[in-house]
A and B are shown apart, each in its own frame.
Chain A
Amino acid sequence: MKNLKANPYRLPVSQRIYLFAILQGMLITARHFFRNLLNPRSMPNIGYPEKRRNYSSRFRGLQILTLKPDGDIRCTACMLCATACPADCIHITAAESPNPEVEKFPSEFNIDMLRCVFCGMCEEACPVDAIRMGANYELANFDRNDFIYNKEDLLRAGQGAVSRVTRG
């Protein structure tokens, strides 16, 4: 049966053919094209990866683990970062340290970067400045397993950063 009622959402013919809208869009494209052609400096693009944007030093990227002045890992495996983590992405296994001067150290320290939300709470919670938010934001990988950064990865990311925090 034919619907006798007129469709209130039916557009007028001028709009239904889209011709005017297409011309409008092409005009905008053409305007940008010619503007960039005549004045390439005004282009907002950055030639990544040859050129990079400057981020603030407070930028929160991949976490790094710091070292003590003697070269040992600073982390004491107190698990406050894992406790503070809202995304539940830090997994630490504590163990007796081989160094007799140190009681406890993390035998495993894994961060699942697929879960990490870069909130920085781990850095905030750490009582000994062992974990910091680093500057690296290039975290693409081909395999899900490669997103789990272990202790060695995070120490490497720290590039030997030494924390000089003393206790007391």
Chain B
Amino acid sequence: MEKKRVKLTIDGKEIEVDDGISVFQAAVVAGIYVPHYCYHPDLSVAGVCRMCLVEIDKVPRLQISCNTPVKEGMVVATASQKARDAQKGSLELHLINHPLDCPICDKAGECKLQDIYRDFGLYKSRMEYENKVHKPKVQDIGTIMLDAERCILCARCTRFTDEVTKTNELVFVNRGDRTTLKTFDDGPLQNEYTGNLADICPVGALTAKDFRFQQRVWFLDKTDSVCTQCARGCNTQVSYNPKTKKLYRVEPRRNVEVNKSWICDKGRWDYHYVYAENRIKFPLEGATKSESTWHHVFGELNARSMENPKSILVLLSTQLTNEELADAKETLPFMGITQMGWLVDESKVGDVEPYDGILKHRDPTANAAGFQKIFEGAKNPVLDLEATSNLLAGNEVTEVWLLGLEGNEFEWVTEKLPGLLKKRLVVHATNQAPWMESATLLLPNVSSFEKSGTVVNALGRLQKVQQAIPTAYLGRDLHRFLTGLREGGDRAKIDASRFADIFAKKVAPVFLKEAQTWRSLSVMGVSR
């Protein structure tokens, strides 16, 4: 059924919106910014901050726009003198007991209180410092640091723990200007989405411990990408400092169809494997794991595949992007290597719904759905785990190449593929696991933050992973690996936009109805 539409005027702009939405949401549609703290698009309306007061014609008093439904013929002024004065009054009340912590506050630079205070003309405080109400400051509540004094009581965090995680750890105690944010029973936060509290807090009351004092936010550049820690593919924004060339945090990017405004703590804080101790930095060779060069490795692998391609089995990780897989699908048979399998814990693949009812999927890899689609109807069908296991039990295969492993979640491999360790192993991974000790060659892979490509999440949505940081150490993505393998050396020039070419030619026609180039593909992803 078509929704009823209503016409209204906001700041002289006539717009038509769905009936039933609030004036605030209508202003968002019209592209008008109304100052606010407590309103959040993915939470219920609280109406406590009183910042979004607007003047509505024929209504004697100012109304909060977030909780006023639109009506036909409404005339709204969000920035009239009366509305601005009221908003400024609300702001002044918010600032009365707010400490002057900006130099040490991690939120400084992206703090709504700072932004709106600046918009309202940087007036002098009429409050004397001694009269301020003081509340407990540095409190460790698990993954988050709580500073109750900075809190402006917008209730976003309490609504989040109430509505999204349904764990209710955060509560307000006391009354009036002594209202204080606390965790229930002074316990720690106990959900797996705590990082979002630091995002939705409009001030610095809740800050992430992981990011605490790491960087000032204005030093950071942001890249839109997609989380690759599970099959959900939450949309993310990756912050890195262009001077230090390092990654500092991963934040969710709003996408109503995938993750709303949230991301789980694993996706947010597990990026540390990029800089972990066990990261493979150079090609390592032999039992002693002595440092080697890519040129030497490519020459050797090329020679071995020329000699007896039938003895080689290639296992491709589902963490690889569609472009890398399409490249492998073409290049490996060209080299004579026809035995290919996928490397994923099959018992976890295939869930459409998250197991915890919010976001988390059991499959810790990003692209199992894309893998299946890419290799659908291939001339040499990819082997599932059982077929791989059977093949490993025989003597036909003497050498196994595991390509594109990322992160630390590959302990199951030796359990599910018991024959693996008896073979000659070539492992292309980001991080070293104990079972990789027996590999004859350990090759550095790049993490998802260091490459671009597309992945398909469990909902069948094609999404864009974009490179955020330069390649760390001597890592090579699969495009570079395959080119080097084919050339038998590391001297061949590789086009930096190779993934974009492959996307336009081989990936887009498989997944999408109309032709797309890498540039034309939206960062919001495309649903099939």
Residues of A bordering B, CB below 8 Å: 76-80, 83, 88, 94-96, 103-104, 127-128, 167-168
Contact = CB atoms under 8 A, between A and B. Distances in A.
Contact of B103 (A78, A88, A95, A96): A78
Contacts of B137: 103
Interface of B: 100, 102-104, 108, 129, 137-138, 212-214, 216, 218-219, 243
Nearest to B212: A96
Given A103-B137, A103-B138, A167 B216 contact: no
B100 A94 contact: no
A94 B218 CA distance: 15
A103 B108 CA distance: 15
B213 A96 contact: yes
A128 B103 contact: yes
Given A79-B216, A83-B218, A95-B213, A104 B100 contact: no
B95 to A, nearest CB: 13
Contacts of B243: 88
A83 B216 contact: yes
Nearest to A102: B104
A4 B213 CA distance: 78
Given A83-B218, A103-B137, A104-B213, A168 B129 contact: yes
B108 to A, nearest CB: 8
A77 B104 contact: yes
A143 B383 CA distance: 62
B386 to A, nearest CB: 52
A144 B243 CA distance: 21
Contacts of A78: 102-104, 108, 216
A88 B241 CA distance: 14
Nearest to A100: B138
Interface of chain A, helix or strand or loop or mixed? Answer: loop
Contact of A167 (B100, B138, B213, B218): B100
B151 to A, nearest CB: 16
Contacts of A168: 100, 129
Nearest to B104: A104
18 contacts: A76-B103, A77-B104, A78-B102, A78-B103, A79-B216, A79-B219, A83-B218, A88-B243, A94-B214, A95-B213, A96-B212, A103-B104, A103-B137, A104-B104, A104-B213, A127-B102, A128-B103, A168-B100
Contacts of A104: 104, 213
B103 A94 contact: no
A77 B219 CA distance: 14
Contacts of A76: 103-104
A15 B243 CA distance: 58
Contacts of A80: 103
Contacts of B219: 79, 83
B110 to A, nearest CB: 14
Nearest to A128: B103
Contacts of B138: 103
A4 B214 CA distance: 75
B129 A94 contact: no
Contacts of B104: 76-78, 103-104
Nearest to A103: B104
Contacts of B214: 94
B242 to A, nearest CB: 12
A83 B241 CA distance: 13
A94 B108 CA distance: 15
A127 B103 contact: yes
A75 to B, nearest CB: 9
Nearest to B132: A168
A78 B105 CA distance: 8
Contacts of B129: 167-168
From B213, B216, B218, name the one whose CB has the most chain A CB atoms within 10 angstroms: B213
Given A76-B104, A78-B216, 20 more contacts: A76-B103, A77-B213, A78-B102, A78-B104, A78-B108, A79-B216, A79-B219, A80-B103, A83-B216, A94-B214, A96-B212, A96-B213, A104-B104, A104-B213, A127-B102, A127-B103, A128-B103, A167-B129, A168-B100, A168-B129
A45 B308 CA distance: 85
A167 B130 CA distance: 11
Nearest to A95: B213
Contacts of A96: 212-213
Closest 3 CB pairs of A and B: A78-B103, A168-B129, A94-B213
A104 B213 CA distance: 8
A59 to B, nearest CB: 27
A131 to B, nearest CB: 13
Contacts of B100: 167-168
A76 B108 CA distance: 14
B139 to A, nearest CB: 12
Nearest to B243: A88
A55 to B, nearest CB: 31
Contacts of B103: 76, 78, 80, 127-128
A94 B211 CA distance: 11
A96 B207 CA distance: 14
Contacts of A167: 100, 129
A79 B214 CA distance: 11
B100 to A, nearest CB: 6
A79 B216 CA distance: 7
B210 to A, nearest CB: 13
From A76, A94, A96, A127, name the one whose CB has the most chain B CB atoms within 10 angstroms: A94
A83 B216 CA distance: 9
Contacts of A88: 243
Nearest to A96: B213
